[in-house]
Structure 1
Amino acid sequence: MIDRDALLRDGYVLLRGAIPSDWLDTLRATFDDGVLPSHAWPVPRGPGWRHALVDLDPTIQAVCRLPAVLAAAGTLIGERFFLAQVEGREPLEGAGHQGLHRDLSADRCGDTVNALAFFDDYGPHNGATRLVPGSHRPATRDAALDPADEARAVQLSGRAGDILVFDADLLHGASLNPSGARRRSILFGFFAEPRHAAHLATAHLRNVRMATDERFDPAPWPPVAPTA
């Protein structure tokens, strides 16, 4: 059960063990098979990462549609939404560090939600994500990123099969992978329905091949008790 109040307050939820354990070997193999060099993408990818083209794989798509993931995304977006894109990412040894940043909503606060599904155990040893709880609603949209926020950042750790769902306006960033240990994941995004036309206009630049016409409705809150 997702704590709705905590999710809205903190801007994220870490769903422990959300991916069935018997899916993980298939997901790791799909990631490895889908790795493409930077120059093979429509827009070259940055150095220091493996990027995998995986969005047509049915198990990958099933991960993105797990009920807990859709419930968290719907709570944050608050209106009808769609799955926009999926991409595999993994930091290489000695690389992967990102400054804290916001991916930013497009039309209104909360219209964009990201998720990271981890296929390997993750923590400080292999560049796990860090984030600043509650930073998704700054006083102004263009609020400067205060370096002091790094002191408030929480670095996540957990096991293969966990999924992080977070508001795109939340301060977050990957960390350095000092050991080179594998940290395969997929990054996927949900957009509010009104963003669909703009999404289609740029989808080819992000190598989005999957259909994005399926729609999801936020679950009612509070939950409606079944009638007798």
Structure 2
Amino acid sequence: MVALSTTAIVHISGKSFPTPPVAVPCQSLNWFVFPSSVVFVTQKRKPVIVKSSSAGESAAETTATEVEESENESSIEAPEGPPSLISALNVERALRGIPITDVDYYGILGIPRGCSYEKVTVGYKNKVGELLSQGLDEEELSIKMELLKESYAILSSEEERRMYDWSLARSGKPDSYTWPFEVDMVKAPRESPPPQEPEDVGPTRLVGYFIVGWIILSFALSIALNR
């Protein structure tokens, strides 16, 4: 049997079959036999990710700005002021005759109840001077200074002081009701009234003279007509 030297060439379009067929030699017949099944290998397309450098930079700038703003806000926090006595809970306690606080603000400043606001300021300054002259350590001095500041803030405010005085009055006499403004013992400064301008009585006199003259004239005319 003569081996054939002719080789069959199969032209396959690259668009339809990207992978060329594989020829399998046959030793017994010296033939190149093509397999009946052709395996096509396809490659998966990798997704292309396009990153925008400007978007990343803007996001980084936004994050940095937010961090800076949060740091600035935390560093500019205002210190908390003294506690306020005006609240719904304290009003309810005062109505029931329960003290809203156990702190004697008048005693801390060394001033009597019902004194003027000027005496509150004087008492606060005197107590501050006494504390500074005692030579206390820093911690104890800070605690006592906070009490003085709280007492001054309460007693120098008209609303806070009225609330505090009302609580003292209600806790002293829980059986009798007291209106908050009844305990407002701080009186307005008494000043002499401003001098009044002299009243212009000229027009009033003219009107009076006219009325009197008209009455006299009417009587005279009535007598003359009756004769």
Above 0.5 in TM-score? no
Question: Quick check: which one's helix share is greater?
Answer: 2
Larger radius of gyration: 2
TM-score, with length taken from structure 2: 0.20
TM-score, with length taken from structure 1: 0.20
Work out which structure has the larger RCO, using CA pairs closer than 8 Å and 6 or more positions apart in sequence: 1
